[in-house]
Chain A
Amino acid sequence: MTSPAAGTAETAVGVPTGQPGISPASARRATASRSGALAARVLGSKPVVAVLAVVVLASVWELYKALGPDDGWSLGETRLLPRTTDLAMPHTWEMVARLFDPVSGARDAPVLWRAVLEAGALSLGIAVVGWVVGVTVGMLLALAMQRLRVVERAVLPLVVLSQTVPLIALAPLVRSWGAKLEIGSLAWEPWMSVAVIASYLAFFPVAVGMLRGLQSPDTIHVELMTAYAAGWFATLVRLRLPAAVPHLLPALRLAAANAVIGTVVAEVATGLPGGIGRMILEFANFASSDPAKPWAPIFGAVVLGLVAAGLVTLLGRSLGRFRRGEVVA
């Protein structure tokens, strides 16, 4: 190959020689920087990174399964690392493949992923109801606490305390109270108890986050409103609520995740049929006979949480106008 620049002929392998005057070192650097730029662009794309994260997680699982001790590792009586047998830790591809097999040996049994999806949809519905109720209660509490300092001082500690009550104990209580409740023709359904528990977990971050948001405006803005003789309600609508949006959205996202957790736990505690929680409980019995089966509803619960958070993100996009100046964490 003849090229005007010295040195390019010898190192022509793999290096583009169409450009005269490129030395091999700078050509290598150019390729390296091009691939560096490509990597940066790939890693900057969120869906790609999400998929990569799942792949990394699966790799860690398989790596441990391949390299870890058969009996796991225990510290005295407590087992800190699980056993690596196929029974205790099924392969990730087995878990995925199981999704496409029927749920059980019964005739007309649906495919596993379909069953999980249906149960997930039911739980999602209950979680949404719980979220809406929790968010409403949280917002009303926050407004009351902002309006009257005495309410804040009285109620906020109770709100914090409420979250320390164990759900497992609370769920049967709620169910029995609900059963006694009858407002006219409206009878208390079992799923309502689950929704109440979900809202119980959801209202706390909203109450606290929204209160912080309502108290967040600068003094100068509040004084401006005072100078314009704006009453409490006008100040609320035009200043405090818009200023609260950047604080409210993370609280709503947290509330969504909490609502899902509350739904699943309450379903387990109250034994609500047809939900994901019940499915997790039932399929846990198959741990020894069908090791990949219990993982399906767990994946379903994870997807449920992601969907709930994703819905809140969509809500956040519609409120983008109030998030100017928000620092991207």
Chain B
Amino acid sequence: MSQPDPQSPPLSTSATSSAAPASVMPSSAAPASVMPSSAAAASPAPASTATSSAESAGAMPPGAEPARTAPAPLASPGAQRAQSAQASAVHVDSVTRVFGRGASQVVALDDVSLTVAPGEFVSLIGPSGCGKSTLLRLVADLDQPTSGTVEVFGRPARQARLSREYGIAFQQAGLLPWRTVRANVELPLALSGTGRGARRERVDHLLDLVGLADFADSFPDQLSGGMQQRVAIARSLAEEPSLLLMDEPFGALDEMTREHLQTQLLRICAETRAAVVFVTHSIPEAVFLSDTVVVMSPRPGRIREIVPVGLDRAGIAPAAAVSTAAEDAVGDDLRTADAFVDAVARVRTALHGDLASAGRPGGAAGESRTARPAGVDQR
């Protein structure tokens, strides 16, 4: 069992915790890691006090528990940083991206640094023009930074792209219209030279995963938007990547399909244990899916704040082995849980800066109004 981090008290109430490993300083010199390990390290104490509530039958506990990984304890933040820099899925170091030149240039990203740990789900959220899609494209090596470096699994982004270390999904499904669903999902495998038999097997498994096994021989123009997007997600998983890059994949879908697919995505990520960088406009979506929400601000694009989210998603893990409908119910429960609502409020505060508390009578009073019950870890 992991040891409590000596630096942070178990019942910390500040969102950007003082525990150094748990926060990334925006636009500052030393990028620290955002890791579920530190969340795990900091919360076993509250976890033990909250286990009673966690073990209460059935219902989602109001407490928050990290569900994803259970890595080994680390003594010092420095060692943690060093280890995380080696092992991190994505390491963006002081990246700047400027479009155009002279008076009409646009600074899409200004000295942005970010680290994503293996297996971690990170959302990028922010208003239009904050550079979140640009950041994702830099990680995917679909664009090159003006300055700074991007590393994926310790290698430069370009090398990671050439060795196909990640899977990618865009807002439009981007399916090739002359290929069947099966052939579309097969495409990355065919490009990397996998044999026909292995391809077929893998595609069958992936289509089962997203629930489209019956439509394997249909063409994209015969599918609805949600189904096309599911095919795109299956395709992004084709090579079993350890990193998934998603640029608002549910942006073009209606709310019901969106919520359903969010639950499906959580289950898939729990099964594949891939790190995910997810760009979204929607605060509830970001909180529902992520371990960490990176809030960005526009003009120039910067990281304003990193908001850790600790939610218990055990109900959606593959080990739970429940039906799709039950999973949807678990998802609905999660969306109404106190911890969820609280995290949404924190992200919203981070997005809107001082405006939220300035509008309310007595900002401090507002904060104390949302005081959390004992046993809830806020980091």
* Bind each other: yes
Chain A residues at the B interface, C-beta cutoff of 8 Å: 218, 220-221, 223-230, 234, 238-239, 242, 321-322, 324-325
A234-B174 Cα distance, complex, nearest whole Å = 17
Consensus secondary structure, chain A interface: helix
A228 touches B163 (CB 8 A): no
Which of A223, A224, A238, A324 lies at the interface centre, i.e. has the most chain B CB atoms within 10 A of its CB?
A: A224
The chain B residue with its CB closest to the CB of A323 is B178
A227 touches B168 (CB 8 A): yes
A229 touches B164 (CB 8 A): yes
16 interchain pairs (CB within 8 A)? Answer: A218-B174, A220-B172, A220-B174, A221-B176, A223-B170, A224-B168, A226-B142, A227-B161, A228-B164, A228-B192, A230-B191, A238-B187, A238-B190, A324-B178, A324-B221, A325-B221
Choice from B140, B174, B190, B219 contacting A324 with Cβ under 8 Å: B219
The chain B residue with its CB closest to the CB of A221 is B174
A222 to chain B, nearest CB (A): 10
Consensus secondary structure, chain B interface: loop
Contact partners of A230 in chain B: CB under 8 A: 191
A324-B175 Cα distance, complex, nearest whole Å = 13
Contact partners of A221 in chain B: CB under 8 A: 174, 176
Task: Encode contact with A along B276-302: 1 for CB under 8 Å, 0 otherwise.
Answer: 000000000000000000000000000
A321-B217 Cα distance, complex, nearest whole Å = 13
Residues facing A in B195-222 (CB within 8 A) are 219, 221
Contact partners of A227 in chain B: CB under 8 A: 140, 142, 161, 166, 168
B162 touches A325 (CB 8 A): no
Contact partners of B163 in chain A: CB under 8 A: 229
A97-B163 Cα distance, complex, nearest whole Å = 73
Choice from B170, B178, B187 contacting A228 with Cβ under 8 Å: B187
A242 touches B178 (CB 8 A): yes
Contact partners of A322 in chain B: CB under 8 A: 178
- Answer whether residue B318 sits at the interface, using C-beta atoms and an 8 A cutoff: no
A239-B175 Cα distance, complex, nearest whole Å = 11
B170 touches A220 (CB 8 A): yes
The chain A residue with its CB closest to the CB of B190 is A238
Chain B residues at the A interface, C-beta cutoff of 8 Å: 140, 142, 161-164, 166, 168, 170, 172, 174, 176-178, 187-188, 190-192, 219, 221
**4 smallest beta-carbon distances between A and B, as pairs:** A220-B174, A229-B162, A322-B178, A227-B168
A239 touches B161 (CB 8 A): no
Choice from A225, A226, A228, A324 contacting B177 with Cβ under 8 Å: A324
A323-B191 Cα distance, complex, nearest whole Å = 23
A160-B187 Cα distance, complex, nearest whole Å = 37
A242 touches B176 (CB 8 A): yes
B182 to chain A, nearest CB (A): 14
Contact partners of A242 in chain B: CB under 8 A: 176, 178
Q: Given A230-B191, A234-B191, check contact A224 B164 (CB 8 Å).
A: no
Contact partners of B161 in chain A: CB under 8 A: 226-227, 229
A245 to chain B, nearest CB (A): 8
A235 to chain B, nearest CB (A): 9
A242-B178 Cα distance, complex, nearest whole Å = 8
A253-B221 Cα distance, complex, nearest whole Å = 27
A195-B85 Cα distance, complex, nearest whole Å = 68
A245-B177 Cα distance, complex, nearest whole Å = 12
Which of B172, B178, B192 lies at the interface centre, i.e. has the most chain A CB atoms within 10 A of its CB?
A: B178
A221-B174 Cα distance, complex, nearest whole Å = 6
A321-B220 Cα distance, complex, nearest whole Å = 12
A230-B162 Cα distance, complex, nearest whole Å = 8
A226-B191 Cα distance, complex, nearest whole Å = 11
Contact partners of A234 in chain B: CB under 8 A: 191
Contact partners of A220 in chain B: CB under 8 A: 170, 172, 174
Contact partners of B176 in chain A: CB under 8 A: 221, 238-239, 242
B174 touches A228 (CB 8 A): no
A88-B221 Cα distance, complex, nearest whole Å = 57
Choice from B174, B177, B190, B192 contacting A325 with Cβ under 8 Å: B177
Contact partners of B187 in chain A: CB under 8 A: 228, 238
